[in-house]
Amino acid sequence: MRILVTGAAGYVGTAVVHDLLAAGHEPVALAHRSEPRVPAGVTVRRGDVLDPDSMRASVVGVDGVVHLVALSRIREAMQHPRLYYRVNVVGTLNVLDALAAETESTGRPGRLVFTSTAAVYGTPAQQPIKESTPVAPLNPYASSKVASEDLVRWQATTGNLGAVTLRIFNAAGAAGGSADPDQGRLIPKALAVASGSEPELVVNGDGTAIRDYVHVADVARAVRLALDACDPGSYGVFNVGATPASVLDIVAAAERATGAKVPVTHRPANASESPALIADTSQARTRLRWSPQHSALDELLRDQLDPAS
């Protein structure tokens, strides 16, 4: 299939483009300002999800879209909710409009894989989290993702689109030579502290809070398998997670990976944060025939530390 990947210059986008190409598909990398790191021969198109005309031009001749573009910083979202709704919701609407126009032109229903986030669940008490767990977004970022999911779901009911939403927990590791660049996230930050480029790791609470981590290469494979599940008129939601680990587990893994200590400073716990957020991935394993292959904790850390390996 010929698949347009929005956000192809990003961390997950790089992994998705490489995975699609390796599996025999024809990825088309959509880039706005950044230059995507794509293998030789991959088509690059220029476009902006906030520009309807460029989106309509970008989807011409493709069989489907993997929509990755989104703003995702929670603190920023709290300060700029309108910006987050504009990029995340209006951007998704423009992608759907473009796919609808292409379907009208060709008579072929489109395919869409939409990447969402575990943040839509808020802080549910029951673990692991199933897709049937009610959404309870706690910030504008998560809320904008819920709104975008609803848009995608309703468009699929028209029969002109087959769509899948992947609720990704915490992507980590490296693929396509690119590691997670965001040192606001725990694994890159812990390794930066271990390497001496940052002085300390600040931890809210005692470090026993658990989050679910999944290798970005496993995320990319879930995206590819989801494309095959995009039957016209269908819509599915799947959790993508793999390895529950506490903050202290990550610190220990960073020390194993580097052979250096990670200085930790503890601050009071945030009462609004859940003690555990763990994915139930049984639906993805059963219906998409997906299972993580690279998400062991030490492999996640090794690949983040040495993305070229």
Catalytic residues, which ones? 141
Considering only CA atoms, which of 213, 228, 175 is closest in space to residue 292? 213
Query: Of how many residues is the chain composed?
Result: 309
Considering only CA atoms, which of 216, 238, 251, 247 is closest in space to residue 289? 238
d(CA 16, CA 42): 12
Task: Collapse the DSSP code of 39 into the 3-class scheme (helix H, G, I; strand E, B; otherwise coil) and give the result.
Answer: coil
d(CA 133, CA 52): 34
Both tokens of 62, joined, read: 């493709």
d(CA 144, CA 73): 12
Strand-pair partners of 237: 165
Cβ(92)–Cβ(107) below 8 Å: no
d(CA 83, CA 204): 28
d(CA 165, CA 52): 22
Q: Residue 98: what residue type? A: A
Q: Are strands 210-215 and 243-246 parallel, antiparallel or unpaired?
A: antiparallel
Both tokens of 189, joined, read: 């930050």
Chain center to CA of 72: 10
In terms of Cβ atoms closer than 10 Å to its own Cβ (0-12, 13-18, 19+), residue 120 is buried
d(CA 79, CA 75): 7
